[in-house]
Chain A
Amino acid sequence: QQPVQSPQAVILREGEDAVINCSSSKALYSVHWYRQKHGEAPVFLMILLKGGEQKGHEKISASFNEKKQQSSLYLTASQLSYSGTYFCGTRGTGNQFYFGTGTSLTVIP
């Protein structure tokens, strides 16, 4: 039930934009996004609860399409501090909470 993320890795220059996708084979009730800096624990970024809803965090926003069972994370005008691994997360059929396969984002000067 683990969501699949794409791409697996991306390298950006400062100021460039990126999109990270998260898709599930199961129905999505909500989607969480987390960021993990190297050597640290994942930290919550945002949650999306409704289809088509968009949320924002700094210059990071996300969308959620229930029908397509997909969510996308948009990073605009990337900064060095955006580097890290991004995970989507969602509830399983019971009380499990599953995280995606992760996307490594590296922003270079």
Chain B
Amino acid sequence: NAGVTQTPKFQVLKTGQSMTLQCAQDMNHEYMSWYRQDPGMGLRLIHYSVGAGITDQGEVPNGYNVSRSTTEDFPLRLLSAAPSQTSVYFCASSPWLERFAKNIQYFGAGTRLSVL
């Protein structure tokens, strides 16, 4: 059971380049989300999805796009990378329980992104 798989693990971009961070889960979880982690700022929510075809913004959505065409996949797109997007990105998934408050988040291993 692979859980949540993120690719790539590392990436270096030049300012203005675009790329897609991949996230896939094999646990049939309805809820998926993207976070970025920066020193001293914890984990900040970028975008999330409650199911295929449904996405919404989190705290820091600017500069990022997402789509959810299948339950398994939730890619994060950087349209025009900026140095401020240098960070570690984590994808997480969670089952959609009747009481959302009980949803445990399962994380991928992360993608370390540097934008020069």
Which residues of A are interface residues toward B (Cβ below 8 A)?
1-2, 5, 8, 29-30, 32, 34, 40-44, 47, 49, 87, 89, 91, 94-102
A66 to chain B, nearest CB (A): 12
Which B residues lie at the A interface, using CB under 8 A? Answer: 31, 33, 35, 40-45, 48, 50, 56, 58-59, 90, 94, 100-110
Chain B residues lying within 8 Å of A99, measured Cβ to Cβ, are 35, 42-45
Sample 20 A-B pairs with CB under 8 A, ordered by A number. Answer: A2-B42, A2-B44, A8-B40, A30-B101, A30-B102, A34-B105, A41-B108, A41-B109, A42-B43, A42-B105, A44-B105, A87-B42, A94-B56, A95-B48, A96-B45, A97-B94, A99-B42, A100-B42, A101-B40, A101-B41
Provide the residues of chain A in CB contact with B35, threshold 8 Å. 99
Number of A-B contacts (CB under 8 A): 66
- Nearest CB in chain B: distance from A24 CB, A: 13
Main secondary structure of the interface of A (DSSP, over half): loop
Residues of B within 8 A of A41 (CB): 90, 107-110
Q: Closest CB of chain B to A105's CB: distance in Å?
A: 14
Out of A8, A34, A44, A91, which one reaches B100, CB within 8 Å? A91
